Amino acid sequence: MQSITQAIHTRPVCTRDSHAESVALTSAYDFASAEQASARFSGAEPGNVYSRFTNPSVALFERKIAALEAGEAAVGLASGMAAYLTVGMTFLQQGDHVLIGSGIFGTTTHLFREYFTRFGIEVTSVAVNDSAAWQKKIKKQTRLLLVESPTNPMLQIAHLSSLAALAKKNNALLVVDNTLLSPIFQQPLTLGADIVLHSAGKFLDGQGRCVGGALIGKTELIKPARAYLRSTGVCMSPFNAWVFSKGLETLQARMLMHEQNCRYVYQALQQEAGITDLFATFHTQHPQRMLIQQQQKGHVPILTFRLDGDKARVWCFMNALKLVRLCTNIGDAQTMITHPASTTHGRYSTEERQKSGISDNLVRLCIGLDDPGDVVRDIQQALKSVLS
C-alpha cells in the first residue's frame, strides 16, 4: 500500500473515554453494509446519515436544550433567523395568515412581511401586551402566532397561556421566541406554547462566539421541521453545537448573575440626572408586574432608558463609553449598549418605531458578567461628558 493511501485511511483513535465530549467534525458516516446505508437513508434504522441533518454534536445540543425547555424534541439550526424560516416554511402554505407581535426583533418582522407575503401569506402585527387585540385580529386562516416575551428593547410581556389557548381554539400554533429569558427564567412549553424558538448565540452561548438557532416542541412538530432542514440545509455547525452545549452547562449560574448585576446597575442609574424612563422587567411600576411574576422565574438583564436629548447627544454618550461595548448582541459576558432605532429596529418605519416607543433617544443596555460597579462608573463618566 502506498504511504498516501495508508495516511488517508488511518482510523481515528477512540475518544469514548475523553471527559469532555469531542466535536463531531464530520460531514459523512461509515455504514457497516450497503443494507445499513439503505436503511439509514430511508429512516428504517435510526442513526447518522449526513451532517446536513444528523450530527452527534448537534444531537447532543438538541437533547440538552430540549431537556431545559421541557420539550420532547429539538432541532438545531444555522441561526435564529433560520429557525424562523423553518417555522414559516414548515407550517405555512399559500392563503394562510400569521399574527406577529409588534416591537419584536426587526429582522423577524422583515422576514415575514417582505418574504413570506410574496408567496400569498398574509401577515398582521399586533401589540404583544394587548391580549384583546390578538382575539380581535385572529381569523379562520390564522395558522401561526409569533411572539417574543419580553420584547426587546421595550420589555412588554405577552400573556403566553391566553395566547396558547387562543391559538389552540383556532387550530393554529403559538411560537414563542425565548431568546431573552432562556429556559432558566421561562419555559413557554409549560404555559401551553407549541414551539419555542432560540437565537442560540445569545444567552445559550453566553460569550458571543457562535451563531445558531433552535426549535423545541413536541416530536410531531419537530419532525417536519427536521425534514425541512434535510431538504434545505439550514443546519447548525457541529463546532457551534459543541460551544452551545458547553454554554448550556453554565446557563443557570450565568442567568442568576446577569440578573443580580442588572439590578445593581438599575439602582445606580435611577439616581442619574439626564436619564429618563428607565425600563426593566423587575421595575416595581412595570404595568404587567403581576403577569411577570406568574410566568417568569427571573428577569432578562436588559435595561432600556431614554437620555435627555436628541440622537446626536445619545450617540456622543455611546461614543464616550470606555468599558461598555457598542454591540448589537445580547447575552454576552461583556456589558453592551445598542441604539435600537438605528440598528436592530432600523427596518421598522419611523411611525412604527414611535408607536412601539423606540425613540431616537432610547438606548438598550444588556448587562454582562463584568463587575457592575465598573459598568456604573463607565456610564457615569460618559453621561458627565455629554451633559456638562
Q: Which residues in this chain contact ligand PLP in the complex, by CB under 6 A? A: 79-81, 105, 108, 148, 152, 177, 179-180, 199, 201, 211, 213
Which of 213, 194, 166 is CA-nearest to residue 65? 213
Give the H or E element holding residue 214: strand 213-217
Complex with ligand PLP: residue 105 or 244, whichever CB lies closer: 105
Complex with ligand PLP: residue 102 or 199, whichever CB lies closer: 199
Cβ at position 340, least distance to ligand PLP in Å? 11
Grid cell digits, residue 202: 445569545
DSSP 3-state of 140: coil
Contact status, residue 88 vs residue 116, Cβ threshold 8 Å = yes
User: What residues form DSSP beta bridges with 147?
Assistant: 176
Which of 167, 146, 141, 168 is CA-nearest to residue 158? 146
Read off the amino acid at residue 380: Q
Complex with ligand PLP: residue 24 or 85, whichever CB lies closer: 85
Complex with ligand PLP: residue 68 or 386, whichever CB lies closer: 68
DSSP 3-state of 227: helix
Cβ at position 302, least distance to ligand PLP in Å? 11
Q: How far apart are alpha carbons 149 and 187 in whole angstroms? A: 11
Complex with ligand PLP: residue 142 or 344, whichever CB lies closer: 344
Which of 215, 183, 166 is CA-nearest to residue 58? 215
Q: How far apart are alpha carbons 375 and 388 in whole angstroms? A: 20
How buried is 345 (Cβ within 10 angstroms: 0-12 exposed, 13-18 middle, 19+ buried)? buried
Cβ at position 381, least distance to ligand PLP in Å? 29
| Cβ count near 124 (within 10 Å) | 17
Half-sphere CA count of 2, side-chain side, radius 13 A: 3
Complex with ligand PLP: residue 201 or 378, whichever CB lies closer: 201
Cβ at position 174, least distance to ligand PLP in Å? 16
Which of 215, 248, 264 is CA-nearest to residue 87? 215
Q: Is the peptide bond before 301 cis (omega within 30 degrees of 0)?
A: no
Contact status, residue 343 vs residue 307, Cβ threshold 8 Å = no
Cβ at position 104, least distance to ligand PLP in Å? 7
Half-sphere CA count of 91, side-chain side, radius 13 A: 27
Complex with ligand PLP: residue 255 or 382, whichever CB lies closer: 255
Cβ at position 331, least distance to ligand PLP in Å? 9
Cβ at position 78, least distance to ligand PLP in Å? 8
Cβ at position 152, least distance to ligand PLP in Å? 6
Complex with ligand PLP: residue 259 or 378, whichever CB lies closer: 259
Cβ at position 379, least distance to ligand PLP in Å? 22
Grid cell digits, residue 361: 433617544
Inter-CA distances, 333 with 79, 90, 262, 306, 325, Å: 20, 35, 12, 24, 11
Chain position carrying cell 439550526: 77
Residue nearest to ligand PLP (CB): 80
